[in-house]
Structure 1
Amino acid sequence: MIIIRSQDRLDLMKVNRIEVNREQVYAVFEGESNFREIGKYKSERRAIEVLNRIQEAIIAGTKFDIINKDGVRYYKEKVFEMPVE
């Protein structure tokens, strides 16, 4: 699971599955039969490049921990922002 901000910057969503269909990138919501376009690019090749960047972000980790001034550790989730172009 990863949190993604849509290309138009209007949506922020938890996504379990991402698909590329030609030049569009879609978030598919598990347990539901709906999907949402989260990015549209000039070519299928560019859409796949963006999908590869999402994969790299997931591999690098979707959460990081912070220790506050009181010494308490907590976790924050990273957000992947869909590239404009």
Structure 2
Amino acid sequence: MPLYMDVHHVTDGVSREDVAHAHQQDLKVQGAHDVSYLRYWVDEAQGKIFCLVEAPSAEAANTVHREAHGLVADEIFEVTEGA
């Protein structure tokens, strides 16, 4: 299954608590789309969120975000895990 890193640019502020809540919403929806959100990182100062996800496609990953909470990624990159 392909691995993706998505990036969200939040211009009006972001908190770790809000992202944790959104991630929980993703986990509730992801199974319907054969997607698995694995981890996320938050840079509150820069207003950036990074999500690592296994998904059949970038669109499937974004569909989960759209259905779960409406906060779709601004960028999505297919990545390969290294050591």
Structure with the largest fraction of strand: 1
Larger Rg computed on CA atoms: 1
Give the shorter-chain TM-score range.
0.3 to 0.5
Q: Which has the higher helix share?
A: 2
**TM-score, length-scaled by structure 2:** 0.33
Superposition TM-score, scaled by structure 1 size: 0.32
Q: With a CA cutoff of 8 Å and minimum separation of 6, indicate the structure with the bigger relative contact order.
A: 2
